[in-house]
Amino acid sequence: MLIYAHRGYSAKYPENTISAFEAALPHVDGIELDVQLTRDGRLVVIHDETVDRTTNGSGYVKDMTLRQLRLLRTESGERIPTLEEVLLLIEKSDVTLNIELKTDQFDYDGIEYLAWLAVTEFKLEERVVFSSFNLDTLVRLRDVARDARIAVLTGDGHPQLMELVERVGAEAVHAQPEFVGTADAKTIRDQNRLLRLYTINDPHELPDMTGIDAIMTDEVELFQRIN
């Protein structure tokens, strides 16, 4: 079973920061992060649509330029990272990167192409898996990125899940542990696709891990020890 650091080592460091990613790297097989788009079309690594929860600023990412956003600080005094900054770190490592395109509220125009372009510039196509809750995003990504590794992101399932998995040629489904017992989870495994689970922070929450490729956790050292 592989361990992915959810938003970096977010149990010990502020989520989606360079310090959280650097701290996770020695302990994990993969890193998961969230990407949104600034007003001037720059990819930034932040979970929420607004900067309010994780920085000393206020407002929507989509309404700020990168320059404005980079003036803000997280509780550790860091800047919100650009995707390129994180790709630089990943390039020097051997881990897999899961880029979640956070288009749940806003259909950021062109985010799929920009993210794919960034990944190809770093020649990291083989070590990056894209995911999104927004199914249209995944379809658009496949349109612009024939070779992209794609995972369909769901909670505990979706009526059209298998149709979408087929349509975007997904290598994996990323789901909550509740999904494991469903008929679709069995089909995923029967089709030799991968199942990765989020977000598990307590070893007692681990379901039957047969056929599970990876878990995403905030507690990267805890899971490293029991693995």
Residues that bind ligand G3P (CB under 6 A): 6, 32, 34, 47, 100, 131, 153, 174, 198-199, 216
Two structure tokens written together for 25: 């790297």
Report what 187 binds from ligand G3P, Ca ion, none; CB cut-off 5-8 Å by kind: none
CA distance 164 to 141: 13
Q: How many residues bind Ca ion (CB under 5 A)?
A: 2
Residue 128 beta carbon to Ca ion: minimum distance, rounded to whole angstroms: 14
Residue 66 beta carbon to ligand G3P: minimum distance, rounded to whole angstroms: 22
37 burial type by CB count under 10 A (0-12 exposed, 13-18 middle, 19+ buried): buried
Non-local CB neighbours of 153 within 8 Å, separated by 6+ positions? 100, 131, 132, 133, 173, 174, 175
Residue 133 beta carbon to Ca ion: minimum distance, rounded to whole angstroms: 9
Residue 75 beta carbon to Ca ion: minimum distance, rounded to whole angstroms: 19
Task: Choose, from 47, 158, 174, 204, the residue flagged as catalytic.
Answer: 47
Q: Closest by alpha carbon to 1, among 37, 34, 38, 28? A: 28
78-90 burial code (b ≥16 CB/10 A, e <16): bbbbbbeebbebb
Using the rule CB under 5 A, give the single segment among 32-40, 64-72, 120-128, 165-173 that binds Ca ion: 32-40
Two structure tokens written together for 6: 């959810």
Active site residue 47: yes
Report what 216 binds from ligand G3P, Ca ion, none; CB cut-off 5-8 Å by kind: ligand G3P
Report what 174 binds from Ca ion, ligand G3P, none; CB cut-off 5-8 Å by kind: ligand G3P
CA distance 24 to 13: 9
Closest CB to Ca ion among residues 31, 118: 31
Give the residue numbers annotated as catalytic, written as ranges.
Answer: 6, 47
